Amino acid sequence: MKLALHYREIEGKSTGFWVLLGGLGLLIGLAMGSVLHMEHAGHHVTGMNNQIVWGLPHVFAIFLIVAASGALNVASIGTVFGKSLYKPLARLSGLLAIALLLGGLIVLVLDLGHPDRLIIAMTYYNFKSIFAWNIILYNGFLALTIVYIWFMMERKMNRYYRTAGFFAFIWRLVLTTGTGSIFGFLVARETYDAALLAPMFVIMSFSFGLAAFILVLMAAYNWTQRPLGDLILFRLKNLLGVFVASVLYFVVVYHLTNLYATEHHDVERFILLEGGIFTGLFWIVQIGLGSLLPLAMLYHPTIGKSRPAIATAAALVIIGGFAQLYVLLIGGQAYPLEMFPGYEVSSSFFDGVIGSYSPSIWEIALGVGGVAISLLIVIIAIRVLRFLPETLEDEVVDPHAAKAS
């Protein structure tokens, strides 16, 4: 007998559920307290300054925004590319995309010098600014994904969901291109000024988003004691391996092209050899722990089939992603602007000096709060609406493949 696919809300009555909710609420409370302090006292309480103008909140915000568009991939593979295996996951994929984006945007907005002027950001547009375009892209992404999920859930609208899914997919590609271009368009700074950053951000989103999706999926099914078959999980972890390798490829190409141009040798020496914390984060966390180790774990014939190992690999990809953005964002600003080639430069404004940055507790709390908001949205949504299939056993996901194996 063929098992039918049923979606059901999670029960959400256990102590663990309330502890989780309370814990996330506490983190969000701490974040809001930090924001009040930062906005009341001014940004002097943060580690950010006039040399490192974007700090840890931006690392968190950009990670979440990039991961958001990537989280939608699982749904896109099912809807746009017709892989029926992924279809049961589409609702959760859309939900996670929305949740991550909201978390990221909240962090981004609350770090502004004037978060109270959000209405200005929504009403005054400079259309030459990629940042202004991003505001439109984010809102459009939220709207499209909500419609997409609605069409999937509402039987009457079901026949239109493919169209909605197609547009959401195209939109997400444009969105991540836009996010990458925030840096790619900065001609002034040597580490950013590269068209390669746009496609690199797209592939980063594939990797970070899928890693986040795998973790949320495993946690949700494990904690609610719903069955999650190997078929779908192994498919996802293999795909994650492909994405991690692709990001690695882009990172290699990015640095090789920089190394080819003599004018970039100094900045490359800084990031790859002499940058202290940035060099350490790059080689140890981004490349070692965040790329090579998870790749080895995911494709190992025995370890690759262990669930704790898969979850660890996904977590490592996320940690590596944070390191990657930290090196790119903060490292890129720490390296001094090259204004007078061939000269040693000195001034009272730290010209020619490597910028120093150590994140304050307030920035850390704000960033972590953003992650907590994303997770809270997911938990509340799956508690009140039918996002999760009751079971993702192999027989439900793909009866033919399950029978064959």
Which of 185, 223, 234, 250 is in the footprint of other proteins by CB under 8 A?
Answer: 185
Cβ-based neighbour number of residue 10 at 10 Å: 20
Extract long-range pairs of 266-272: CB within 8 Å, 24+ residues apart. 266/338, 267/190, 267/191, 267/335, 270/331, 270/335, 270/354, 271/191, 271/327, 271/331, 271/335
Q: What angle, 0 to 180 degrees and rounded to 10, lies between the N-to-C axes of helices 197-223 and 161-184?
A: 130
Which of 24, 27, 34, 43 is in the footprint of other proteins by CB under 8 A?
Answer: 43
Which of 24, 30, 130, 203 is in the footprint of other proteins by CB under 8 A?
Answer: 130
Rounded to a whole number of angstroms, the minimum distance from the CB of residue 119 to other proteins is: 10
Q: Does 53 bind other proteins (CB under 8 A)?
A: yes
Q: Does 354 bind other proteins (CB under 8 A)?
A: no
Which of 124, 156, 400, 404 is in the footprint of other proteins by CB under 8 A?
Answer: 124
Stretch that binds other proteins, among 170-178, 223-231, 314-322, 341-349 (CB under 8 A): 341-349
Q: Which residue has 């295996």 as its token pair? A: 85
Which of 139, 238, 356, 358 is in the footprint of other proteins by CB under 8 A?
Answer: 356
Dihedral class, residue 3 (left if φ above 0, else alpha if ψ from -120 to 50, else beta) = beta
Tell me the C-alpha distance between 61 and 208, whole Å: 13
Binders in 290-309 for other proteins, by CB under 8 A = none
Extract long-range pairs of 253-260: CB within 8 Å, 24+ residues apart. 253/196, 254/194, 254/196, 254/197, 254/200, 257/194, 257/196, 258/194
Q: Does 262 bind other proteins (CB under 8 A)?
A: no
Which of 1, 4, 15, 50 is in the footprint of other proteins by CB under 8 A?
Answer: 50
Q: Does 37 bind other proteins (CB under 8 A)?
A: no
Residues 6 or more apart in contact with residue 11 via CB below 8 angstroms:
17, 224
Stretch that binds other proteins, among 40-48, 87-95, 209-217, 244-252 (CB under 8 A): 40-48
**Residues in touch with other proteins (CB under 8 A):** 39, 41-44, 46, 48-51, 53-54, 112-115, 117-118, 120-121, 124-126, 128-132, 135, 182, 185-189, 333, 337, 339-340, 342-351, 355-356
